[in-house]
A = this chain, B = another copy of it.
Amino acid sequence: MKKILIEIVDTIDTSQVYSELSHAQSGGICVFIGSVREFTDQEEVVALEFETYKAMALKEMEKIANEALSKWDLNKLILRHATGLKKVEEPVVIVGASSSHRTECFEACRFLIDTLKERVPIWKKEIFRNKTVWVSAHP
């Protein structure tokens, strides 16, 4: 039973996350799922495409996991990101943690997604009807 679960996958299966984070010493599990929104600034998004530098992304995700473990008393922790083309409502990222009490898992879960978005080499291209945009690339 590994404490940390880190993966980059083609498709995220959200139905497994409870059993992945469940732990006899955990009273609380907090999970965040990021999914594709239909509109960005009033423009209709057809899909998002995710590209990763996989070797480095996994390394950065592992660093984030270890930082979380050093900050909070966690029993289990997960960071999983999808790659490739994702349609509206599809999950693209799932992070979560389980801990004895709820404050720890809430704070850790927020840290995991915030830090993943800041540092992990994954890039998102928004595909609109008439154009594509690499998110955050330009000021």
Cross-chain contact B33 with A31 (CB below 8 angstroms):
yes
> What CA separation (Å) do A35 and B60 show in the bound complex?
30
A37 is contacted by which of B27, B33, B39 (Cβ under 8 Å)? B27
Interface size on A, residues (CB 8 A): 33
Cross-chain contact B88 with A32 (CB below 8 angstroms):
no
The answer to whether the Cβ of A113 comes within 8 Å of any Cβ in the partner chain is: yes
Chain B minimum-CB-distance residue to A75: B37
Known: A15-B15, A30-B109, A102-B113. A22 touches B37 (CB 8 A): no
Chain B minimum-CB-distance residue to A28: B34
> What CA separation (Å) do A114 and B129 show in the bound complex?
43
- Name the B residues within 8 Å of A26 (CB-CB): 35, 37, 89
Known: A37-B100, A91-B18, A100-B37. A106 touches B24 (CB 8 A): no
Question: Which residues of A (12-59) have their CB < 8 Å from a CB of B?
Answer: 14-18, 22-39
Question: Which residues of A (96-139) have their CB < 8 Å from a CB of B?
Answer: 100, 102, 105-106, 109-110, 113
By Cβ-Cβ distance, the 9 closest A-B pairs, closest first, are: A14-B18, A15-B15, A24-B38, A29-B33, A27-B37, A31-B31, A22-B89, A30-B32, A24-B88
